[in-house]
Structure 1
Amino acid sequence: MIDPSGAPAWANLQPRDRAWLTKLARLTGPGARVALVGGAVRDALLGQTPLDLDVVVEGTDAGALAVATGLPFLVHPAFGNATVTLPDGRHADLVRARREHYPVPGHNPVPAPGTLQDDLQRRDFGLNALAMEIGPGGSVTLLDEAGGLKDLSARVLRPLHAGSLREDASRLVRAARLGGRLALEAAPELLRQVPDALEMAQRTPRLWAELRLLLQEPRPGRAARKLTEWGAGSLLPNGTVERLEALDRQQDAGEKLPAQVYAAALLSASPEPAALAGRLGLGEKPGGLLARARADVPTAKGSPEAVLRSLLRPDAYAALTGRDVVALGVPPGRAVGAALAHLAELRRSGHFRSQEDERAALAAYLQGSSSP
C-alpha cells in the first residue's frame, strides 16, 4: 500500500536532494510554489531513490530562481525554463508551470503559463502526474491531481485523456519503456488508443527519439515485448523482439552488454539498416558493429562483435587467430598471414563447421607446405 502522505517518498530522496529542494522553496517569494514532479515522485513512491530531479515552479521565474541557487545553470528562453548543474554533476530541470495544447497532432505542443495543477494535468500518464510540493520550512504535500496513486497501486499505465496518444504517439513507446522497466501493465484506456498511436506514428518525429531511448533501457527486450503485447509490434522490424529478448537473457545471466549491441541487433532485423539508423539518430557505430559481426573475420571472445555474431549466427564459432596458428606450428612472420589467408578462403567457401575443421585444414596446409 502506498502511503498518500508522501512522507516515505520524501525520505527516499537523497539527503542532499531534500536539502536542495527545501532551499529552492525558501528562495521563492510569497505565494510561489515549488514541487518535485513526474518520474522522481513515482519512483520514490515505489521505494526507489530517484536521481533525476524535475521541478515545477509557479509564481516565480525559473531563470531567476536558477540564478539564486548560486549553481551553474542554463536558461531556455523559449519555454522560460532552466537547467541547474548540481554539485555532484547531475542536472536538475526547473520548469515554469504551464498548460499545453496541440494545434497539429504529432507536432510539438504550444505552451502557455499555467498553474501547478495545469502542469500536472498536461502530463502523459496518471502515475507521472504526481507531485511533492515543498514548503519553505521543509513541509511536504503529496499532490494527486489525476488519480496517479490509484494507478501506481494497481501498477497500470493510464493516459490522462482520450486523445493522448493521437496528440503524441511517442507516449506509447514511453509507456512500453516504463512498463518493461517497472513491470507495469497497460490500462484499458491505453490499449484503446493504440490504433490512434499507430496511425500517427509516421507523423510524430518524437516517436523515433523514444525508440532510441528504448534501446538504452536496462532490459530493452522487455520494453519491446510490451509493444508487441499491446498490438504495436509493427513499430519495430520483424524479429526485433526475439533478438532483444535473447540479449536480455544474456544480461540476466550476468553478462553486461552495451546499448550499441542492442542497437545493432535492432538494425540486423531491418531490410534497410542504414536508413533505420538514420531515422533513429543512432550514428555510425551500431551499423559498424553489425558489419563487423556479419563479416567473416576473427573476433575476441566476449566482444560485442562476438556476442552479436552468436545471436545472428548460432552456429558460428571462433575462427583461428594469428596466435592460434603460431601455436599450431606456423612460423612467426609472413607465413602467419599466408596461413590465415588460406583458412579465410576455405571459410568463405563453406568448408568449415567448427574450429576443429580449421585445425585439420591447417595441419594439411602445413604438411603440404613442408612437402618437397
Structure 2
Amino acid sequence: MALVGGAVRDALLGLAPIDLDIVLVGGDVESLARQSGLPFLFHPAYQNATLTLPDGRAADLVSARIERYPQAGASPLPHSGTLSQDVLRRDFSLNALALVIGEATGGQTKPELHDPVGGLADLLNRELRPLHSDSLTDDASRLIRGARLAARLELSASPQLLAQVPSALAVAAQTPRLDAELRLMLSEPRPSQVMERLESWGAAVLLPAGAPRVLAALDALPQRPSDAVYAAGFLSSVADQHMADQHAWQDRLALGPRPAALLRRAMDHEYVSPDSAEATLRGVLRPDAYIPLTGKDVLNLGVPAGPQVGKALARLSGLRQAGRVSSREAEEAELLSHLATLPK
C-alpha cells in the first residue's frame, strides 16, 4: 500500500495535504474498504472507494493500475498494474512520488519514499516537468492543472513542458476535462496568477482576452472574494470575445446560474449593500459607480412617508437607467428639483 501523488508532494514541502490518494497493490479495494470499518463508499465502475474525512478532506483508495489513451483528449482506459506502473501514469514528475508502507523487523511499519522519475529533485528545484513526452497531448487539461500547481507552489516550467504546449493546444478542443480544470482555477487562492502562467507559456488562447485583468483586480482586494465573484468576473470578460458568449462559457464551466445573476446585479444601477458580493464586483468592473439614494435618504430630503417614497425611488431608478444621473449629488439635485414642482 502506498500514499501517492499530491499528498506526498505537499508533505515534503511542509504543507498540509488536501486530499489523500492511496494505492493498493495486489489486493481487493472493496474488501479492504469493508475490513477497515470506516464509512468508505465503493464505486464498482471505477473500482475505487472514497472516504470523506472529519475535516472535509477526501481519501481515495484505488488499485494500482496503468492507463492507455485510445486517442488524444479521450478518457484513459485503466488496466491492473504495479505501483511503478501506477506512478508512471501521472501527469508531472513531482506527482509521481509515493510513500510506500512496508513491514520492517519487529513488526514496525516503515515508510519508504518511491521516486522512480526524479520527482523529488524537480520538487526541490521548484520545476514542473511532464512525466512523458506526450503527457500534455494525451490530456490537454494537464496544461491548466500544471498552471494551477505552478502558481500555488511557485514552480517554473521546465523546457519539456514548454515544448509540449503547442501540441496540447492543438487538441484542447477535444478535451472536455479542460473546462473542469478552468472551473477549478477560479477556486485557487490567486486565480490571476494561474492565468499569468498560462500566458507566459504561450497558452493565453485558452482564456477570454479580458479575464486576466479582471481576475488580477479581484486578487488585489484586501480580502479574497468568493468563488462566485471570481466566476462572475470571468464571465464579465467574455462579452467582447467573438467566439463565445457568457451563456456558452457558463455552460462549458458548469458554473450554475448564480455568477451570471451576480454579474447582472453588479452591472445595473440599483442599490446593493456595500458589503455584498455585488458591491465587491461592481467596485472592480465599475470603479466610478456610486451608492444610489435609499428610502431613508429620500425621506431625509423631504419626501413624505408613504407611497411617495416608492414613487421617488422609481423616478430615480428611471433616471439612472436613462443615464441622466451619475452621482448621489445629481440624484439629490434631481429629487429636490422635482419636489419643488409638487403642490404644497
| TM norm structure 2 | 0.94
Alignment match, 2:293: 320
Going from structure 1 to structure 2, the CA distance change for 1:349 and 1:36 (only over 3 Å counts) comes to same
Alignment match, 1:49: 16
Which residue of 208, 229, 232 corresponds with 1:264?
232
Deviates more, 1:75-84 or 1:105-114: 75-84
Q: How many angstroms apart in 1 are the aligned matches of 2:150 and 2:57?
A: 25
Q: How many angstroms apart in 2 are the aligned matches of 1:243 and 1:86?
A: 35
Q: Secondary structure at the match of 1:134?
A: strand
Alignment match, 1:247: 218
Alignment match, 1:292: 265
Counterparts of 1:10-21 in structure 2, within 5 Å, are none
Alignment match, 1:348: 321
Q: How many angstroms apart in 2 are the aligned matches of 1:276 and 1:242?
A: 18
> Residue 66 of structure 1 contacts residue 84 of structure 1 at CA under 8 Å; is this kept in 2?
no
Alignment match, 2:36: 69
Which residue of 179, 185, 196 corresponds with 1:208?
179
Count residues in correspondence.
Answer: 335
Q: How many angstroms apart in 1 are the aligned matches of 2:53 and 2:288?
A: 50
Alignment match, 1:120: 87
> Residue 75 of structure 1 contacts residue 82 of structure 1 at CA under 8 Å; is this kept in 2?
yes
Instruction: Please state how far the C-alpha of 1:88 moved relative to its aligned partner.
Output: 4.7
Q: Secondary structure at the match of 1:298?
A: coil
Which residue of 151, 171, 174 corresponds with 1:180?
151
Q: How many angstroms apart in 1 are the aligned matches of 2:84 and 2:283?
A: 51
Q: How many angstroms apart in 2 are the aligned matches of 1:264 and 1:348?
A: 22
Q: How many angstroms apart in 2 are the aligned matches of 1:87 and 1:216?
A: 21
Q: Secondary structure at the match of 1:59?
A: coil
Q: Secondary structure at the match of 2:336?
A: helix
> Residue 159 of structure 1 contacts residue 189 of structure 1 at CA under 8 Å; is this kept in 2?
yes
- Post-superposition Cα deviations, 1:192-227, rounded to whole Å, max 9, x if no partner, equal 111111111110000000001001111111111111
Q: How many angstroms apart in 2 are the aligned matches of 1:298 and 1:52?
A: 41
Instruction: Please state how far the C-alpha of 1:366 moved relative to its aligned partner.
Output: 2.3
Task: Give the root-mean-square deviation of aligned CA atoms.
Answer: 1.4
Instruction: Please state how far the C-alpha of 1:126 moved relative to its aligned partner.
Output: 0.6
Instruction: Please state how far the C-alpha of 1:148 moved relative to its aligned partner.
Output: 0.6
Instruction: Please state how far the C-alpha of 1:180 moved relative to its aligned partner.
Output: 1.4
The answer as to 2:126 corresponding to 1:155 is: yes
Which ranges of 4 or more aligned residues in structure 1 deviate by more than 6 Å?
none
| TM norm structure 1 | 0.87
The answer as to 2:307 corresponding to 1:334 is: yes
> Residue 71 of structure 1 contacts residue 85 of structure 1 at CA under 8 Å; is this kept in 2?
no
Q: How many angstroms apart in 2 are the aligned matches of 1:87 and 1:293?
A: 37
- Counterpart of 1:165, as a letter, is L
Q: Secondary structure at the match of 2:16?
A: coil
Report percent identity of matched pairs. 54
Q: How many angstroms apart in 2 are the aligned matches of 1:335 and 1:326?
A: 9
Which residue of 249, 274, 278 corresponds with 1:276?
249
> Residue 215 of structure 1 contacts residue 263 of structure 1 at CA under 8 Å; is this kept in 2?
yes
> Residue 58 of structure 1 contacts residue 116 of structure 1 at CA under 8 Å; is this kept in 2?
yes
Which residue of 80, 83, 86 corresponds with 2:53?
86
Q: Secondary structure at the match of 1:104?
A: coil
Q: How many angstroms apart in 2 are the aligned matches of 1:349 and 1:88?
A: 51
Q: How many angstroms apart in 2 are the aligned matches of 1:286 and 1:106?
A: 28
> Residue 326 of structure 1 contacts residue 332 of structure 1 at CA under 8 Å; is this kept in 2?
yes
Gaps of 5+ in 2: 240-244
Q: Secondary structure at the match of 1:135?
A: strand
